[in-house]
């Protein structure tokens, strides 16, 4: 799945649809959090698999907009967005979504919740895993070209 920081409002709404109740406050908070992406004192590297970027989570026209958003976000000077395409050989596979905030903390999201790791060995393990995925990812123009191709497919 696409992380909330990179998601369109439609994608955020759909990601909460399985939970009963009014989601308007949660959606607003998630979208408000996205403002951090425009703080150039902070730097982000996101890596998504092709499966995450292309999973037909929304109707095709909304998925095209989500993919376009990914390409647009990648143009920000403090954002590196990598896409790991299908094809080729990748001897490792992600089992969970994880976020490494710095060398002191990492979180891992599972189907039932999130775990927080503060032990330097655990955080280092996720940094090493991230480095591995980074080596397989397309960045910059190559990533944007791939995203553009996928957006065209969603529109057709």
pLDDT tens-digit readout, 79-98: 999 999 998 788 887 778 89
Would you state the pLDDT for residue 96?
81
Q: CB-based burial of residue 8 (10 Å sphere; 0-12 exposed, 13-18 middle, 19+ buried)? A: buried
Would you state the pLDDT for residue 87?
87
Question: Cα(28)–Cα(56) distance, rounded to whole angstroms?
Answer: 23
**Block residue for tokens 């490494």:** 100
Would you state the pLDDT for residue 129?
93
| Residues of the chain falling short of pLDDT 70 | none
Question: Cα(7)–Cα(48) distance, rounded to whole angstroms?
Answer: 12
pTM to 2 decimal places: 0.90
Question: Cα(69)–Cα(79) distance, rounded to whole angstroms?
Answer: 13
Would you state the pLDDT for residue 60?
97
Nearest Cα neighbor of 47 from 77, 80, 11, 69 is: 80
Would you state the pLDDT for residue 7?
97
Question: Cα(33)–Cα(27) distance, rounded to whole angstroms?
Answer: 10
């Amino acid at each position: 799945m696409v992380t909330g920081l990179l998601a369109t409002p439609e994608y955020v709404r759909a990601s909460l649809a399985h939970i009963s109740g009014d989601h308007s406050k949660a959606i607003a908070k998630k979208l408000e959090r996205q403002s951090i992406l425009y703080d150039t004192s902070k730097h982000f590297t996101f890596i998504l698999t092709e499966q995450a970027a292309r999973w037909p989570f929304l109707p095709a026209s909304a998925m095209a907009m989500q993919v376009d958003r990914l390409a647009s976000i990648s143009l920000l000077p403090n954002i590196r967005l990598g896409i790991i395409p299908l094809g080729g050989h990748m001897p490792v596979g992600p089992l969970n979504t994880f976020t490494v905030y710095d060398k002191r903390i990492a979180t891992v999201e599972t189907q039932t919740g999130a775990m927080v790791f503060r032990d330097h060995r655990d955080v280092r393990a996720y940094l090493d895993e991230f480095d591995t995925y980074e080596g397989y990812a397309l960045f910059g123009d190559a990533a944007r070209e791939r995203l553009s191709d996928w957006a065209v497919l969603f529109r057709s």
